[in-house]
Amino acid sequence: MPKKWYNSKVIKIQNETPLTKRFWVAIEEEESFDFRAGQFVTMDLPIGEKRLQRWRSYSIANAPDGSLVLEFCIVKLEGGLGTKYLFEEIEIGSTIRFKGADGVFCLPQKITKEMVMICTGTGVAPFRSMLFDLQNKKIDHPPIHLIFGTRKSEGILYRKELEQLAKDNPNFKYSIALSREETEDTYHGYVHQIYTKDHAVVKPDISFYLCGWKNMIDEAVAQLIEEMGYDKSQVHYELYG
């Protein structure tokens, strides 16, 4: 069955980093909108005549809360028509048409294994949705380790709230890797150097969730399966770009 299309209005825009914005939209003329944490929607943006030119998919960054408001965290891509429209033309009150939610990059209904969430840039969005869904529903879970990578500290997304989550939840650990800057409270390097060290001992009761740029995903999959020896069934991923 084809997915239903929804109309929404932009109700808030916030600059998050020099290249990233957060957008909040309110769905119109609907009584409910159901999605699972980790899913995405496909927007139909007025940037071309053919649907493949217009359609852009973005993960929902907020947890399901029964409201009709969705948040998206979007990075501006060099030469990208979709992000050019979103960053330069969209304003409060603008209409965004989308379909969804779609995707299977979600947590299992019952979490029985330790989880390592590895992401770069706006790939943190589905993990934010998952983590706060667990918190809101007060779901007990095994240890979760979120590893976030970007170039410089100015590119860190959702830092304060994820650090607070780590303080509030003893089963949640948060690590940051900066590839082009050294600070006292972050790792200087890449996400790969963190998980290969912290999760070097291969065990069956752990799952890895990867979200970010293709190059990072490709390298992480190769590291985890081919070099470290994890089974491919333990590795789940969502590509960005």
Cβ atoms within 10 Å of 232's Cβ, excluding its own:
10
Spatial separation of the C-alpha atoms in residues 198 and 126, rounded to whole Å: 23
Spatial separation of the C-alpha atoms in residues 110 and 126, rounded to whole Å: 18
For the chain, what are the domain ranges?
A: 5-102, 114-240
Going across the sheet that includes 172-178, the strands are: 187-188, 172-178, 144-150, 114-120, 206-213, 235-240
5-102, superfamily in CATH? Answer: Translation factors (2.40.30.10)
Q: What percent of the chain has pLDDT over 70?
A: 99
Give the H or E element holding residue 85. helix 81-88
User: Is CATH 1.10.260.40 the classification given to domain 114-240?
Assistant: no
pLDDT digits (tens, 9 = 90+) for 144-201: 999 999 999 999 999 999 999 999 999 999 999 999 999 999 999 999 999 999 999 9
pTM, two decimals, is 0.95
**Backbone φ and ψ of 152, nearest 5°:** -130, 165
